[in-house]
Amino acid sequence: MRIDVVTIFPEFFDGPLHISIVGRALASGIVQVHCHDLRNWTSDPHRTVDDAPYGGGAGMVMKPEPFFAAVEELRGDGAPPVVAFTPCGVPLTQEKVQELAAVPHLILLCGRYEGIDQRVHEALVTDEISLGDYVLSGGELPALVLIDAIVRLLPGAVGNDQSPVTDSFSDGLLEHPHYTRPAVFRGMAVPDVLIRGNHAEVARWRRRMSLLRTLQRRPDLLAKVELSREDEKLLAEQN
């Protein structure tokens, strides 16, 4: 998979892209991430990427010309998804991550200031994404979040391929609690079912705890999941 990132701060990505899962995936060739300086597609001596907004108001708006030139060059003869990060976008979900992880090429546009000229959104952008109901200084952090979420789904990126399959949101639910040694720490004991070694009981306990945790913390998620009769039985046991 190839991911092209267009930003005025390509150095923003230097550290995060070269550690942990993403770093290993880059080193092994599972994914290619190329960070491009938007100013390379400007045509004036000052390499200008922003201008005052029409209609007045505070702040600056990122100009359309560099983004059009960048996307048209980077996409070549293909038609990769073009993602822009904006508070007006749809919230990022695991479902969207899975969708984007399935494409061979992706272009991410990182805005700054008051945002990117609307004509870029209308003519080039295929997906507008928001991380939540708050405002960041630019699209670089959301781009890193999306890259990390995508890469861990790529085959071979995670040491155990089952890990992404059982993560929170993968089946619409929050994940069950996790425990490791010691069995008792400061008077707090690991649930006995996890120690006995009965795999069927462990799986049943984990499913029950996943359902219960989702009911308690994110009932909106649970309302979207089609529960089996066994799921309903497990939930009833907890009530």
Domain map of the chain by residue range? 2-151, 168-238
Note whether 75 and 65 are within 8 A (CB): no
Q: Please indicate whether residue 87 is annotated as part of the active site.
A: yes
Catalytic residue among 65, 114, 171, 231: 114
Looking at every residue in the chain, the average pLDDT score rounds to: 94
Q: Please indicate whether residue 219 is annotated as part of the active site.
A: no
Catalytic residue among 11, 51, 73, 87: 87
Catalytic residue among 65, 128, 167, 231: 167
In 10 A of CB 210, how many CB atoms?
22
CATH level 2 (architecture), domain 168-238: Orthogonal Bundle (1.10)
CA distance 4 to 103: 13
Residue of 167 and 190 predicted with greater confidence: 190
User: Quick one: residue 202, left, alpha or beta (phi over 0 = left, psi -120 to 50 = alpha)?
Assistant: alpha
pLDDT exceeds cutoff 80 at 205? yes
Q: Please indicate whether residue 167 is annotated as part of the active site.
A: yes
Extended strands (E) in the chain: 2-7, 32-37, 50-51, 61-62, 82-91, 105-109, 127-130, 184-185, 188-189
Name the DSSP class of 18.
G
What would the pLDDT profile of 39-91 be if each residue is shown by its tens digit?
999 999 999 999 999 999 999 999 999 999 999 999 999 999 999 999 999 99
Pairing label, strands 50-51, 32-37: unpaired
Structure-block tokens of residue 121? 């959104």
Q: Which H/E stretch holds residue 124? A: none
Query: Which pLDDT value is given to residue 183?
Result: 93
Catalytic residue among 64, 152, 164, 208: 152
Q: Indicate the CATH number for domain 2-151.
A: 3.40.1280.10
Helix, strand, coil percentages in the chain from 3-state DSSP, rounded to 5: 40, 20, 40
pTM: 0.89
